[in-house]
Amino acid sequence: MPKNVVNPEFLPILEKMPSFDGLSGRSLPEVREIFLTSVRLIEGRPLPDVETQEVYVPGPAGAPDVRVVTYRPRERRPNAPAMVYIHGGGLVSGHPEVDDPKCQLLASKMGFVIVSVDYRLAPEVKYPGAIEDCYAVLKWVHENAQTLGINRQKVAVAGESAGGGLSAALSLLARDRKEYSLAYQLLIYPMLDDRTATKVDPAPDFGEFVWTRSANKYAWEAYLGASAGGADTPAYAAAARAKDLSGLPPTFIGVGSMDLFLCEDLDYARRLMAAGVPTEVSVVPGAYHVFDMFVPDAELSVRFMDNYCAGLKRTLGL
């Protein structure tokens, strides 16, 4: 796909980005350094009206505590909405600080108490390590609602890329375990289907920039500990594998028109709607993977965030 179809505001940063292609031929430290190199391109400044704190919360049974970073407006309000935020990084890299600018902005703009999860990464810890860490944090948020000053009925889950996939899986897990509820799932270009670029190949022009087919295959196999696209991938690992999507919380799915995940995200949205789940979809023209993280001030990035913030406000009654 020629670069002339990329939105002009997203082009300059694209020239500086490292390639995620060929990850399978690299060592794990090299893979993580590629991700960190791209993260260093993100500029963010602390917002004075947001308080940030590092906390360790009880992990899953027999597992270590989970580090989280909390963001909350300094001006406290009772019964605030809460958000469990899950970072991206292809399941093999990343940490909550990657999303520092976005989480600070959401806390400031929306009044959310945000708890961002530092889940265990693959391949050192394979499925279900990451999703169980996220569930442990959801449990902690609900069980400490009074201390946190939040409303248990207004807990949302959100994440981008691999974090979007984990958010979708967390919504399935919460629905099925029936212990803790979620009021909304915000899935930002989510990584939902291990079959993409293996059993199911999207149009050849999708995924040419940033997150590619080979990177996707590498990441899924690191997480699953098996070949991507196999017959037995659990739905709590890859949410697109779920047979039944009924009973899930209202959903926003957003993705760029040039993203490798476009087809799987649109298919998941279609299936959510067919299952009776209120679902809003936003496809951003001329946008590649993680466009809004790298160019947050672009007109389309601002409009994208405004769209999902409007969905959160409407659904949570803010």
* Cis peptide, bond prior to residue 278, ω within 30 of zero: no
One of 259, 265, 292, 301 is an active-site residue; which one?
A: 259
Q: Say whether 289 is catalytic.
A: yes
**CA atoms lying within 13 Å on the CB side of residue 173:** 24
259 is catalytic: yes
What Å distances lie between residue 62 and 59, 65, 92, 178, CA to CA? 8, 9, 22, 22
Tell me which of 93, 116, 161, 171 is the catalytic residue: 161
Catalytic pick from 108, 289, 292, 301?
Answer: 289
**Is 267 considered catalytic here?**
no
Listed residue (108, 65, 112, 60) closest to 85, CA to CA? 112
**Which residues are known catalytic residues?**
161, 259, 289
